[in-house]
A and B are shown apart, each in its own frame.
Chain A
Amino acid sequence: MKATTAHPSRSSGFRALADNINEKRAQCSKLTRIFAESAESTDLASRYGYDRWLVGRFLEYVPNVKDFMDEMERPPTKYIRVNTLKTTSEDLESRLCSKGFDLKRTVIPEVLAVKKAPMTTGATNEYLLGHYYIQDLSSCMAVDALDVSEAQAVLDVAAAPGGKTTFMAQRMKNTGSIIALEPSEKRARSMSFNLARCGVYNTCILKIDGLHAERLQRKFDRVLLDAPCSCEGVIAKDLTRKTSHTPQDVDYCSNRQDKLIDAAARMVKPGGILVYSTCSFAPEENEMVVDTLLKKFDNIEVEPLQYGSTGLTQFGDAVFDGQLKNTCRLYPHLHDTTGFFIARLRVS
């Protein structure tokens, strides 16, 4: 077994595996870290049905891994976001409660947790009329972090299916403008239905890949990049994800996210905000992406957020800029949300 160097790491015996693939991983700081198997990782992987490489990584950074994996076996809490373009929280609560729903307020004023539902949450008349959107609390926190307001110019770099876009539109009271980028015809179509159902008219969908955002030839007050990712954070919603992705998938996503965040950062006006988010736990898709950006741009600061756990400042052999502690990690067992990562970046 070959030892890698020595940055202090959480596991006292971090070692890269000795075969060729992992030697290459150690040489390239951006490749997905694989950790030596332990009795604990093997046991947990076997018990909960995960690939062992994934559990080995969880043991490096997830607090209370056993509680975490127990929680991932349970159906996640459902949340709905009141569409204030069409109704109020009070009115919607009253209507749904009269139908037998039990709803609870959350830290985001527009978001309600569905504690009891007598029917499928998307089967109500109120849903069809666009009075609410089914959206996880973590996703809404990303929009809350962006702090949009009326009359602003906003860019949503990877917009479909439109949950965050419609939330931004309602926070903007349908004023200003949102440019939503979505290169896939199918996803853009699905998004158009969501925008129409929610009564959003300040948004324009362009079928452009976020990597080519510079074609817009303008800058924005706010830019949101909810990046395509390996979706580890939604394992509780789709248990096949325990074994359906590989370290190579994380590599691919991370590489693409580097490019996307670079493109997104260039679209922000001085003084504006970029929010980067994923529904992955992988540091290579989260802190490392932001860290790489900070190394490229000296006019970007990571601003602190008011929710979740702090971001990692190191992972395996990688040590990140100290500002990464201002990012936010959301875990199902600690925050009752899907897994999520949010970074709020101020461009000066």
Chain B
Amino acid sequence: MISRALDTWGAFEFFKDRTLMVRENGKKTVCLVPSGFEAMAPMHPYIMGLAIGDLKKQFVPSMAGADLFARSGNRNEFYITVNENAEKLILYGRDVMGESILEASDMLGENELVIILNSRLEAIGIGRTRFAGRSLLQKGRITVTTLMDAGYYLREEG
């Protein structure tokens, strides 16, 4: 499931020679760790490496994972790009209006997980589509639900 997910997000090449571990603590979290860190597992670390996503019915990336996937450079149809105004709103946890989407693949279906990028192609959130294809761009409606955004770090920490 992990390999399929990495391929889905266009990040397989980036991760192929790296070490991933699954941490089970009520949920299954996939962590990118340096090689040799497996030896730390018996010490029950609080955090090991970087949590890139959770394994549920499907792989759901974390914000940190989304950032790595976006940087891996192989952005495919599961990414949408939004304008600056939407970026500000998304970073406060707001959803995405159709008219703020600069780029979205026609091949996207309804209820798909997408990584939300700003105009500089940096990951700012993770969302789920409410419509398919060109309908994502319709004006006056929320077309993507924001599940998580980069502002989450400060809200959770605070």
Contact = CB atoms under 8 A, between A and B. Distances in A.
Interface of A: 86, 122, 125, 128-130, 175-177, 179, 182, 185, 188-193, 195-197, 199-208, 215-216
B41 to A, nearest CB: 10
Contacts, number: 81
A174 to B, nearest CB: 8
Interface string B17-59: 0000000000000001110110010010111111100000000
A175 B32 CA distance: 12
Interface string B104-136: 000000000000001000101000000000000
A258 B36 CA distance: 32
A34 to B, nearest CB: 40
Interface of B: 32-34, 36-37, 40, 43, 45-51, 62-64, 67-68, 87-88, 91, 118, 122, 124, 150-151, 153-154, 156-157
B34 A206 contact: no
A202 B34 contact: yes
Contacts of B64: 196-197, 199
Contact of B68 (A182, A199, A215): A199
A177 B154 contact: no
B34 A177 contact: yes
B9 to A, nearest CB: 16
A129 B50 contact: no
A176 B47 contact: no
Contact of A202 (B43, B49, B118): B49
A201 B49 contact: yes
Chief secondary structure at chain B's binding surface: mixed
Chief secondary structure at chain A's binding surface: mixed
Contacts of A197: 64, 150, 153
Contact of A128 (B32, B37, B43, B154): B154
A130 B66 CA distance: 13
Nearest to B39: A218
A47 B68 CA distance: 54
A185 B40 CA distance: 18
A122 B155 CA distance: 12
B63 A205 contact: no
Contact of B153 (A125, A128, A215): A128
Contacts of A200: 50
Given A125-B88, A192-B46, A192-B47, 5 more contacts: A129-B122, A129-B124, A190-B157, A195-B50, A208-B43
